[in-house]
Each structure stands twice: as C-alpha cells, then as structure tokens.
Structure 1
Amino acid sequence: MTFVLGLTGSIGMGKSTTGAMFRNRGVPVHDADGAVHALYRGKAASLIEAAFPGTVQDGVVDRARLGAIVLGSTEQLRNLEGIVHPLVRAAEQAFLDRAVRSRAPIAILDIPLLIESGGMNRVDAVLVVTARAEIQRDRVLARPGMDQAKFVAILARQVPDREKRARSHFLVDTGHGLHRAEAQVGDILRAIAGRDGRVAATIRDTRPDRPA
C-alpha cells in the first residue's frame, strides 16, 4: 500500500529541488505551491477577486498585489487561506487517490507549511529539507522582489528550522551540494521501501467507488 511521505522545509532550503530529485526517480510528487498557482489561474481567481478586489488581472491572481494585502495581516491571511486551502486539499486528495489506484509504492506531498498547518497526520512520515541559516538567507535574498523585511515576515510565519528538524523522520541537507542531497534521497527511498502506508489505507477504505 502506498506510503505517503510529507516533504517540507522553510523558505530557501531547497525543497523544490529535492522534490524534483524524487520525481526523477519516478516517485509521484504533489506540489502544494504548484496547485496554488494553478488555482490562481482557475477556480480560485473569482473567489479571491470577490474577497480582495483589484487583485485579479485578466482572470489571473496578481500575487504581488495579493501579497501586499495579506502579508503582515493575520486576519487577511486567514481570509485567503479560507478560500484556497479547501481547494488545495481537494487537489491533494485527488492526487493521493490516483497514487493508490496506480499502486505507487511511495507518494510525496510537497507542502511548505505541513508542520505549521498541523498536517503531519496526513502523512506517514515527514521529510524536512534543511540548510545552514546563511545559505538560506543568501538564496532567499537573491530572489526577484525579495528584501530583508519580506524575508523576516515570511520566517515569522514558519516554524524554526531547528524545530522542524526535531520533528522530522528524515532529513535532506541541500547545503553541501546536489550530489550529497541526491545520495540522501536515495537513502530515504531505501529506508521506506516496502513499508505500508497508514494514510493510503484510509483513502482506500473511504473512496466512494471501493467495492463492497
């Protein structure tokens, strides 16, 4: 039965790069951020425009305008999450159902705020991507449109890296080069090979078309 691995990590730690390493090995990966991008061009756009007028241009959410409204405002951020999170969860559920149907040995949920959102019960194990603080900072500040104030505001919403590492089952450290990170990914896959997943079993038992 499919083993569900939660992939997470703070901003700038190399989570997307690590997810790509799993994909390259044939492991199905659901990218929560990618799902949000798709929703911002689809189902969520009209709902967000209604809640935050002027944030949608030509049917697509302008992330910069939306960010200017919600960043630093707990109330506005909760309003946005109330719109987006149910849609993201539905996409996640559909992904897991496909993984179970295809009998994938392992499926990965790439969720940036997995620990912060209390989502650890939705996976069988947690993989945290990490790197030294100075590497993280340099990576983030090199991004277009990023500055120190935005970086600090984002970090304030995230569980500290040291705490994430303490709550993880597996770690990938991207601060020592891609070759070393690739080796760690291989070690993780070998460690969970053949393990049955509790989360996937729940999906199997509750999906509507399960034979009686």
Structure 2
Amino acid sequence: MRFLELIGTIILKYALIFREGDGTMKRIGLTGGIASGKSTASAILRGWGACIIDADAIAHGLMEPQAPLYEAYRAHFGEGVILPDGQLNRRRIGQIAFADPAEKRWLDETAHPVIRRAIEQELERAEAAGEPAVILDIPLLFETGWQAHVDESWLIDVPEPLQLARLQSRNGYSREEATRRIAAQMPLSEKRRLADVIIDNSGTEQELMERLHVLWQKQPHQAAGSNSRKEETHI
C-alpha cells in the first residue's frame, strides 16, 4: 500500500466533520481501486469546473517543506526520510509505518488534527462559495464507510486483469508486487456492490470522458440534499 493510501485512511477517518448544512450542496464521492483511473476522472471533472476536494492533494500540501507535517515527520523519523531535493521520502515513511504498529500509531496521532483542520477549511470554502455540488476524491471511500456521508458514490471501474497490467506499467512493479498492492485494498467486486454509479474505464481516456460527461450533464444546479441510496447505475 502506498504512503498516500495510508494518509488517505487518516484523512477519511476524520472527514466526518462535514457539516450537513441546509442540504443544498450535493456531495459526490469519487473512488476507485489502485490504477483504475480515478485521478484521470477527477482531472476531467475539474476541467469542467467541478469543485473537487482531493484527499491526496490535501496530504501532499501538508507534507511540503516547512508545512506542519513535514516538520513533524522530519523531527521524528530523522534526515533519512528527506530526499536530496528536500522533499519527504513518502515511500520510505510508508515502509517504516507499515512495518511497525507503533510508528503507524504515531503517524496517525500526529496527522489527525492537522488534516482535520485542512478538510474543514476546504468544506467551508465550498459552502461559502455556494457550490451546488462538491466531489470528494477519496481513494478509500468504501473502506472507511464514508459512502454513508455522501449523496452519491461513483466508482471508476476496470476489470481486475487490466488493473494489474496498468499498475505494473505505471509503477514499474513486478507482477508479484502489483498483486500484493491490489490485494491490500478492498476487492473491486465489493466496491461494485457498494457503489451507486459504476463507470467503466476499460477503454480509452476519450471513452471515459464521454461516460463522465453523461453523468455530469445530469447533475442539478441545486441538489436536493437527500442521503437516500440511489439505484445502482452502470455507465
């Protein structure tokens, strides 16, 4: 499991500070398995003007040099987690944390309040701006039960063999390593069962864009704010 997946778990564990508000802002949870194309889908939606709250981007920002988490991790783990360019070696921190439960616990306890404040600020900005809908780009949407706190969950879906091939190609992993990392996540079959909308990404980026466009065009300017479950949709 990647370091940002670990941070994503922390973010989502404390994301329940999302205020219900007056029900006018629709909440869409966007998720997918590793190498499914979720980040590509998020970028497409952002290009169309969607308001995106990106869990990974929040984590990245908090770990930039001089940011609170950067300084805390440097002090705790030492110079061995600092790359030559001054950035944190997130891969190394992830290795340390997953190898030692005490280190993972320290990481959780250190990151929780900082990330919570950052999420609060993003949600407040979206509400204050009068956004009719916000997309929560969350890698571990279902693993943390966060789908209960969005109006609709969208799963970027790929067949498992294609997911494996894409992960090997993208990250340069061996088949064994790619299989291990996929196995560390909730199976796609389970995510399909939980998703309100399943978006097929087994084809080209253009095909993904077309499927997303169909969905995005259906979004109302003002959401009803209902948290009732939707009938599962395949796109």
Shorter-chain TM-score above 0.5: yes
Structure 1 gap ranges (5+) = 200-212
What's the Cα RMSD here?
2.3
Structure 1 residue 93: Cα displacement: 2.3
Task: Give the corresponding residue for 2:58.
Answer: 35
Deviates more, 1:42-51 or 1:125-134: 42-51
SS at match of 1:152: helix
Q: Is 1:163 aligned to 2:163, yes or no?
A: no
SS at match of 2:46: helix
Structure 1's 33 and 152: CA in aligned 2 closer, same or farther, altered over 3 A?
Answer: same
Distance 2:174 2:88 in 1: 22
Structure 1 residue 75: Cα displacement: 4.9
Structure 1 residue 126: Cα displacement: 1.0
Task: Give the corresponding residue for 2:224.
Answer: 196
Does the Cα contact within 8 Å between 1:124 and 1:198 map onto a contact in 2? yes
Please point out which of 11, 17, 25 is paired with 1:2: 25
Does the Cα contact within 8 Å between 2:63 and 2:88 map onto a contact in 1? yes
Distance 1:148 1:74 in 2: 27
Does the Cα contact within 8 Å between 1:3 and 1:105 map onto a contact in 2? yes
Task: Give the corresponding residue for 2:111.
Answer: 84
Distance 1:72 1:19 in 2: 31
Distance 1:150 1:78 in 2: 25
Task: Give the corresponding residue for 2:146.
Answer: 119
Deviates more, 1:7-16 or 1:130-139: 130-139
Task: Give the corresponding residue for 1:56.
Answer: 82
Please point out which of 45, 56, 66 is paired with 1:22: 45
Does the Cα contact within 8 Å between 1:32 and 1:88 map onto a contact in 2? no
SS at match of 2:147: helix
Distance 1:34 1:149 in 2: 28
SS at match of 1:171: strand
Task: Give the corresponding residue for 1:205.
Answer: none
Structure 1 residue 68: Cα displacement: 2.4
Distance 2:34 2:102 in 1: 22
Number of aligned residue pairs: give it. Answer: 199
Does the Cα contact within 8 Å between 2:50 and 2:135 map onto a contact in 1? yes
Deviates more, 1:40-49 or 1:185-194: 185-194
Task: Give the corresponding residue for 1:181.
Answer: 208
Structure 1 residue 102: Cα displacement: 1.3
Does the Cα contact within 8 Å between 1:27 and 1:107 map onto a contact in 2? yes
Read off the aligned partner of 2:168 and give its amino acid letter.
L
Quote the sequence identity (%).
30
SS at match of 1:113: coil
SS at match of 1:175: coil
SS at match of 1:29: strand
SS at match of 1:197: coil
Structure 1 residue 70: Cα displacement: 2.6
Read off the aligned partner of 1:128 and give its amino acid letter.
L
SS at match of 2:109: helix
Read off the aligned partner of 2:46 and give its amino acid letter.
R
Structure 1's 128 and 109: CA in aligned 2 closer, same or farther, altered over 3 A?
Answer: same
Structure 1's 150 and 46: CA in aligned 2 closer, same or farther, altered over 3 A?
Answer: farther
